Chain A
């Protein structure tokens, strides 16, 4: 089945970006400490799906299931957090997918973590996440391979993961 570039793009967007964004906006109601419990529940529901069904679109299913679990989680804890208007951020995520979702991660904490990365990794992040350049274009511009770009990004993710560990 041939896919146009546009189809593919909307495909990725629909199949994991939007589910991810919904999850992220729901997730605000979950304390970082609870993410392991949420993951446990998500994992059990994933297994309930059966492999053949889940394999069809695992990225989307994963984040969608996570969104549901997170929503139930925040409803359960809504008595404790009466003013957490996560429905509002959810609405924002739906209506304007390009809007920022605030993650409650302090800027200076993030800044320190990003500053700790190599200059090349920072440049890749800037070009990719801010300027929206594809890996291919960045590779040409910086005269490096796409593999190195992926590797740098993976290193950046794992560095942020360990730097922000308790906040995630």
Chain B
């Protein structure tokens, strides 16, 4: 998906959100001002707002002709499953409270509901995201996932278990409690088992990283060739992770010692933020590159190893480049192919000690 298409999709979502909002309640002065500024931002916003008006009329016409059958709960057993999970546990900081997920004017992440997964494992559903695309998905058991850009996974639920196969990327899981059906995330080199908690699993080049936000999960490293066996107990000892704990499983299937982390920072990407605490510039650049089509290239080796602390918007690699320009005196240029090239500074690099925040 090109950047233009992404902008279009976002504009369409924003337009729908505005129309639905103004239709369901009177707008406050502040909201009117926000809406006005949003419209004044781009002709694309105007076009999508006009189209939202057309969709509104089309839906009204369609519904008023009585063309939508009333829901028959008996014939649609999944309907009950689609109500919000009551026994979700949430992090104390409120980071993951659903109320924060849908700010009206910020980018709206559409929730797709996957139904019909309960009956068999014969048809796993494949979900993937592109660079810069973050998706939320709610599952028929009431669990929810936030999928980071550049991820790919398979969802295979059955009566006895809930299995996710993470092929690449990172997913934040909020698992609805169901002790009879364990929730298992299989990442090839490790299997994370859980009955109702919030945790994130990342499968990248350096291995598998599991972070627990809330609750407790078991991570079992696996050597290649292990059998697919969700319920069984493996020979490899499993690692038990509690709140704010993280473990990395190396490519060879070895578990590193459990680390204490700020899970809030670790899963900040789910809210469109990237939080770095003494992280190397090269690692930050890699993170931005994973999430955006605009790529960052750091050409200066000494700058690449510099440690940075700060908060950035994940969809704004430029702000990071500008930060390095102003704080480290880095030379930032735009290459002809749209890359942001960050090179050696002309002057000596200044040591910045205070944590910096960019929004």
Binding site for B on A (CB under 8 A): 3, 8, 11-12, 16, 20-21, 23-24, 27, 35-36, 38-40, 42-43, 46-47, 51, 54-59, 62-63, 66, 100-103, 105, 107, 110-111, 114, 118-120, 122-123, 125-126, 128-130, 134-135, 142-148, 150-158, 160-162, 164, 168
Contact = CB atoms under 8 A, between A and B. Distances in A.
Determine which residue in B26, B39, B53, B83 has the highest number of CB atoms from chain A within 10 A of its CB, and name it.
B53
B119 interface: no
Contact of A103 (B61, B67, B78, B112): B61
A154 B79 contact: no
B35 interface: yes
Residue of A23, A101, A153, A162 with highest tally of chain B CB at under 10 A? A153
B58 A105 contact: yes
B50 A134 contact: no
A44 to B, nearest CB: 8
Given A38-B50, A154-B17, 4 more contacts: A16-B22, A21-B57, A54-B40, A157-B55
Contacts of B64: 100, 129-130
Greatest chain B CB density within 10 A among A23, A51, A151 is at: A151
A118 B82 contact: yes
Majority DSSP secondary structure for residues of A touching B = helix
Interface string B27-48: 1000011011101101110111
B70 A51 contact: no
Contact of A158 (B16, B67, B115): B16
Interface string B226-263: 00000000000000000000000000000000000000
A156 B83 CA distance: 17
Contact of A58 (B39, B42, B57): B39
Interface string B58-97: 1111111011111100001011001110000000000000
Contacts of B172: none
Contacts of B21: 150
22 contacts: A12-B22, A24-B53, A35-B50, A35-B51, A36-B43, A43-B39, A51-B37, A59-B35, A62-B46, A114-B59, A114-B68, A118-B115, A119-B79, A122-B68, A126-B63, A126-B69, A126-B71, A129-B63, A147-B102, A151-B102, A158-B110, A161-B51
Contacts of B20: 150, 153-154, 157
Nearest to A62: B39
Nearest to B82: A120
A119 B57 contact: no
A27 B58 contact: no
The 4 closest A-B pairs by CB, nearest first: A157-B16, A39-B47, A129-B63, A130-B63
A153 B98 contact: no
B36 A130 contact: no
A125 B68 contact: yes
